Structure 1
Amino acid sequence: MKPLKEYDIQFVGLKLGKHHFDYQIDKKFFEHFEYDDFNDVDVTLNLLFEKKATLLELDFEVSGTVNVNCDTSNEPYNQEIEDDFNLVVKFGDEYNDENENILIIPHGEFELNVAQYIYELIILALPIKRIHPGIEDGTLKSEILEKLKELSPKDSEEKEETEEIDPRWNTLKQLLTDK
């Protein structure tokens, strides 16, 4: 049995027009892709599938939460995600997915598996740097954050105050203001 078969859309039997598909994505979905950066996943995907005479249009909309570890403190937190993606499927002589928004499939195909597109949409919906909301508002207390504060370099302003400025620079600055 083929994995992720529930994400196959058999478009040959569908009438022309719009069709709606809903998927509930959880952690088991990502196990098929051997992706284990998520602690937990609770994402809803709405797929609007429009069949036309010569092509197919797919509009993906994803929203939900993904439990990930913070890049700074390694504390787990729920990251809200929301994104959308549009895909046009055309028919041609051979399979071609070089363009990210256009997929060309052979004329004899009768179904389309959307699992890869769902996977990529959710992964790309996450921010590049994952920061726990408690770090941003200052409410998160952890040993890692305390150690980072202790080891962080001191502010450059404090450093400048302690260093003596060479008097020759003051003379050069005087030239700029005397113009």
Structure 2
Amino acid sequence: MKSSLRNYNVQFSGLKDGLHQVSFEIGAEFFENFEYSLIESGEVLIDMELDKKPNMLTTRYKVKGVVNTTCDRCADPLELPVEGAFKLVFKFGKEQSDNEELIVLPPEAYMLEMAPYFYEFINVLLPARKVHEEGECNEEMVTLISQYSINSSDPDDEDDFEDDWDEDEEE
């Protein structure tokens, strides 16, 4: 694990059974640790509630903040709010689990490496299509993209495109 991500580790050995609260501030340096990240930077607060029991840890998360990414339409910078809640259960054992909310830890584990989970939480909160509000896109870029795009939204253009192929086949 990269050293800058160690700030997101939670050592649970030595904690008494019961509820514990931990907060994490995630900034630009966090996202730099993930190759090919859709998120360039951001300011996200994650509040974690950890309920420690002898054989398991139940964790709940509240995620809230803003991330900076790229608009899927015009490729300009885009700031998006993210907000959501998650739950994970960490159980001690050797058998694997098919449930994505249940993570099996080896009996000798003493710490949770939360950075990958935090990264996943934030990415899950992004919309499938990340675009500016109507009228806020870089119009110059949108015009260029539509000018050079093969897939036109004008049905008449598609017919012309098909006709071009038909003419080539007849020759």
Query: Which category of TM-score, normalised to the shorter sequence, fits these structures?
Result: 0.7 to 0.9
By how many angstroms is 1:78 displaced? 0.7
Larger gyration radius, structure 1 or structure 2: 1
TM-score of the two chains, using structure 2 as the length reference: 0.78
Aligned pairs, how many? 153
By how many angstroms is 1:65 displaced? 0.7
Once the two structures are superposed, the pairs formed by residues 12-23 of structure 1 within 5 Å of their partners are 12-23=13-24
User: Which deviations, in whole Å up to 9, do the C-alpha atoms of 1:1-26 show, x marking residues without a partner?
Assistant: 96222222111211111111111111
Q: Which amino acid aligns with 1:99?
A: N
Q: Which amino acid aligns with 2:139?
A: S
2:139 pairs with 1:142: yes
Instruction: Identify if the C-alpha distance between structure 1 residues 77 and 33 changes in structure 2 by more than 3 Å, giving closer, same or farther.
Output: closer
Instruction: Identify if the C-alpha distance between structure 1 residues 39 and 9 changes in structure 2 by more than 3 Å, giving closer, same or farther.
Output: closer
Match of 1:165 in 2: none
Once the two structures are superposed, the pairs formed by residues 39-118 of structure 1 within 5 Å of their partners are 39-93=40-94, 96=96, 98-118=98-118
Q: Which amino acid aligns with 1:46?
A: D
Q: Which amino acid aligns with 1:29?
A: F
For residues 28 and 129 of structure 1, what CA distance do their matches in structure 2 show?
24
SS, match of residue 100 in structure 2: coil
By how many angstroms is 1:154 displaced? 3.2
Identity of aligned residues (%): 35
For residues 67 and 77 of structure 1, what CA distance do their matches in structure 2 show?
6
For residues 23 and 88 of structure 2, what CA distance do their matches in structure 1 show?
17
For residues 142 and 62 of structure 2, what CA distance do their matches in structure 1 show?
36
- In structure 1, the gaps of 5 or more residues are 160-179
Match of 2:35 in 1: 34
Q: Which amino acid aligns with 1:30?
A: F
SS, match of residue 117 in structure 2: helix
Instruction: Identify if the C-alpha distance between structure 1 residues 141 and 41 changes in structure 2 by more than 3 Å, giving closer, same or farther.
Output: closer
For residues 106 and 149 of structure 1, what CA distance do their matches in structure 2 show?
53
- In structure 2, the gaps of 5 or more residues are 160-171
Structure 2 contact 92–105 (Cα < 8 Å) conserved: yes
Instruction: Identify if the C-alpha distance between structure 1 residues 153 and 59 changes in structure 2 by more than 3 Å, giving closer, same or farther.
Output: closer
Q: Cα RMSD over matched residues?
A: 2.3
TM-score of the two chains, using structure 1 as the length reference: 0.75
By how many angstroms is 1:46 displaced? 0.8
Match of 2:167 in 1: none
Instruction: Identify if the C-alpha distance between structure 1 residues 35 and 124 changes in structure 2 by more than 3 Å, giving closer, same or farther.
Output: same
By how many angstroms is 1:139 displaced? 4.6
By how many angstroms is 1:155 displaced? 5.7
For residues 106 and 141 of structure 1, what CA distance do their matches in structure 2 show?
51
